[in-house]
Amino acid sequence: MVNAHDLLWGMTPAHVPADAPAWVLEALGAGQPVVVRRAIAQPGLVAVGVRGRLREQRFAAQMPLALVRRRVTPQALRGVTSPRDLPALRALAQLRPLLAQKDWGVSGSAGFELATGIEALHDASDLDLILHTPEPLERRDAGDLLAILDTAVCAVDLQLQTPFGAVALREWAGSSRRVLLKTASGAHLVIDPWQALI
C-alpha cells in the first residue's frame, strides 16, 4: 500500500499523455521518482505528481501500481544526511533528536533531494515534515510541538497525518474552530481531523 508523499520509481514517459510538457518527459526519462499525491485514482493506479526543476513545474498523473520498482517513504529519510549546507538541512539536523520518539518523516523538496541526490532545495526552502498521528493530538500539545519547530533555522511546515487525511500542525495549534483536512476527495473544513467525514 502506498501513501501520500511516498516516492515511487518506475514510471516512464510512455505513461503520461502525449501532450505532457517536455520537462515531464525529461524528468521521467531520467528515471526520476514521482510523488504520491492525495487524489482518487482508478483501480490498479495511484495518483502521483511529477516534479520539475522549477517550483511551478508540477504535473499530475496516474501511475500503474504494477510499474512500481522502488518505494521510499518519508519515514525512511529521517536519518539520511546531505553534504550540502542549507537552512532546511540544518533545521532537519537540529530537529532530528527532538522528534526521535515520534513517527515522523521528511517530505517536499528536502525529502526528494535526500532520496534522489538531485538538488531540489535552495537557501529559502522550507522544511516539509509529516507526523503520523493515528490517535488524536490535543491542540495544546500541538502548540507545544509547534513552539519546538519554530526554533528551527528555517520555516518548518509539518502535516499531521490522521487516519482520514492531513491537517497542518500550525492550523491545528491555532484558535480556529474548524481546520482544513486534506483528503483524497478534496479539502474539507472539519472540527475534528480524527473523525471520519460523514
Cα→Cα distances 1→4, 36, 45, 151, Å: 10, 11, 11, 35
pLDDT of residue 56: 85
pLDDT digits (tens, 9 = 90+) for 75-119: 999 999 999 999 999 999 999 999 989 999 999 999 999 999 999
C-alpha cell at 9: 520509481
| Whether the predicted pLDDT of 178 surpasses 90 | yes
* Eight-state DSSP code of residue 40: -
156-176: per-residue pLDDT in tens? 999 999 999 999 999 999 999
Active site residues: 126, 128
Residue appearing with cell numbers 527532538 = 98
Res 53: pLDDT: 83
Percent of the chain with pLDDT over 70: 99
pTM metric for this prediction: 0.92
Torsion of CA 144, 146, 147, 151, to 10 degrees: 150
CA dist., res. 119 & res. 176, Å (int): 37
Structure confidence by residue, pLDDT tens digits, 119-158: 999 999 999 999 999 999 999 999 999 999 999 999 999 9
Q: How confident is the model at residue 54 (pLDDT cuts 50, 70, 90)?
A: confident
Q: How confident is the model at residue 1 (pLDDT cuts 50, 70, 90)?
A: confident
| CA atoms within 13 Å, Cβ hemisphere of 88 | 25
What confidence score (pLDDT) does residue 197 get?
76
Instruction: Kindly state the average pLDDT of the residues 44-60.
Output: 91
Task: Give the per-residue pLDDT at 38.
Answer: 94
